[in-house]
Structure 1
Amino acid sequence: MKLYHLPLSGHAHRAVLFLSLLGQKAELIEVDLANGEHRTPEYLKLNPFGQVPVLDDHGFVVNDSNAILVYLATKLGRKDWLPDDLETVARIQKWLSVAAGEIAYGPCAARLITVFGADFRAEEVIARAHRILTLIEQELEQHLFMIANTPTIADVALYSYIVGAPEGNVDLMPYENVRRWLARIEALPGFVEFPKTVAGLRA
């Protein structure tokens, strides 16, 4: 397996983290986005969207972070991370959609402003981040992880941009359940840290 990634991308970190949590070896190939490597014809063959991450499993290419989580769990038969009962699958899918929606347009977008200079309205995306964090805080009153008392790919999908939220000036201090949840993920065997930058509240 090969994983094309960028260390500071939360989307890419999901895939790097899950590979490590699974104990699955993969060649990590850093994509030089700063110099436009993601726009080259060679890379666009792997991912026409020009984004990271991309998983190349001996010629079978998966080029969406959440799809990579589903693919890896299914291929490796890891029903502990992606159970096959319908109710759990539906609940996990809900949080994968949140990761691609409210998280991407909330804490992720806030961090893109401070770390990458993205052109978003800070007050709007920070407010959106606090709305979804409030909902997640309430969800975590019921169990240790997002779905139950054991982790699933839902937790992996949500982790990176939430732990990096302070870089986008999103304060996590009001969310005690969220902070405890982050610590539980960080205590898992095989955990890989999301690289920090000196930005936002960490500046």
Structure 2
Amino acid sequence: MTAPIKLYRNPLSGHCHRVELFLSILGQPVEFIDLDMGNGAHLKPDYLALHPFGQVPAIDDNGTAVWDSTAILVYLARKYDKSGRWMPEEKAVEIQQWLSIASHLLANGPAAARLVTVFGANVDHERAKTIAHRLFEGLDKELAGRAFLTGDEATIADIAFYAYTAHAPEGEVSLEPYANIRAWLKRVEALDGFVPMPKTAVGLAA
């Protein structure tokens, strides 16, 4: 029997939740390894051998190490999604566009704003909130008339965007102005295998 995929994570990280969510949707067995980052577990030599930059998440798939959350999503889709639903070839460019935005505007906007309130990060909170609203204004328009980011079916693009969008109020970024985003979040949450990320009672979610 194949051993479960080891997922090294912080349970409150949206980057880690992307991977947890997709593994659950795919029905892949997983072993969670929660790193005590406050005590520098992510900087120990054994973890740096998996992820040279000492960040989370990383996975160990029976000897194959993969790091960076969007790269892990691509890896899992290519290896374990035999249907091709989650990363269809005809939508590869669209999906890559959204993954790039997830690594840029999503990371520097709602994710960064949440870093301030949840983790006490030394980040320009007002700038992060401004970026978040710029992103959500565009995202809300893109979701008008479509169920998911690239069309009628969910892909790894939706998985990459879910956590930091759903938890944006924790970073003091309201989702009230964005009806299409709020409807899309409900559709993601209705997917078979959906698992939530723990909520933190801070910001607008307090």
TM range (shorter): over 0.9
Is 1:84 the counterpart of 2:68? The answer is no
Pairs within 5 Å for 1:115-194: 115-194=118-197
Match of residue 61 from structure 2: 57
Aligned equivalents of 1:163, 1:134: Cα separation in 2: 15
Query: TM-score, normalised to structure 1's length?
Result: 0.97
Give the superposition deviation at 1:59: 0.8
User: Which contiguous aligned blocks of 4+ residues in structure 1 show a shift greater than 2 angstroms?
Assistant: none
Match of residue 101 from structure 1: 104
Aligned equivalents of 1:123, 1:34: Cα separation in 2: 26
Give the superposition deviation at 1:31: 1.0
Aligned equivalents of 1:84, 1:91: Cα separation in 2: 10
Match of residue 46 from structure 2: 42
* SS in structure 2 of the partner of residue 27 of structure 1: strand
Is 1:71 the counterpart of 2:107? The answer is no
Moved more, 30-39 or 127-136: 30-39
Measured on the aligned residues, the alpha-carbon RMSD in Å equals 0.8
Give the superposition deviation at 1:136: 0.5
Aligned equivalents of 2:83, 2:166: Cα separation in 1: 25
Letter of the structure 2 residue corresponding to residue 59 of structure 1:
G
Query: TM-score, normalised to structure 2's length?
Result: 0.96
Q: Number of residues paired by the alignment? A: 201
Choose the corresponding residue for 1:22, options 23, 26, 50.
26
Letter of the structure 2 residue corresponding to residue 169 of structure 1:
E
Give the superposition deviation at 1:118: 0.8
- Structure 1 residue runs of 5 or longer lacking an equivalent are none
Aligned equivalents of 2:162, 2:75: Cα separation in 1: 18
* SS in structure 2 of the partner of residue 101 of structure 1: helix
Question: Alignment identity in percent?
Answer: 53
* SS in structure 2 of the partner of residue 55 of structure 1: strand
Aligned equivalents of 1:13, 1:19: Cα separation in 2: 10
Give the superposition deviation at 1:45: 0.8
Aligned equivalents of 1:177, 1:149: Cα separation in 2: 14
Choose the corresponding residue for 1:8, options 12, 36, 49.
12
Letter of the structure 2 residue corresponding to residue 55 of structure 1:
I
- For 1:59-99, what per-residue CA distance to the aligned partner results, in whole angstroms no more than 9, with x for missing partners? 110011001100001001241000012xx100000000011
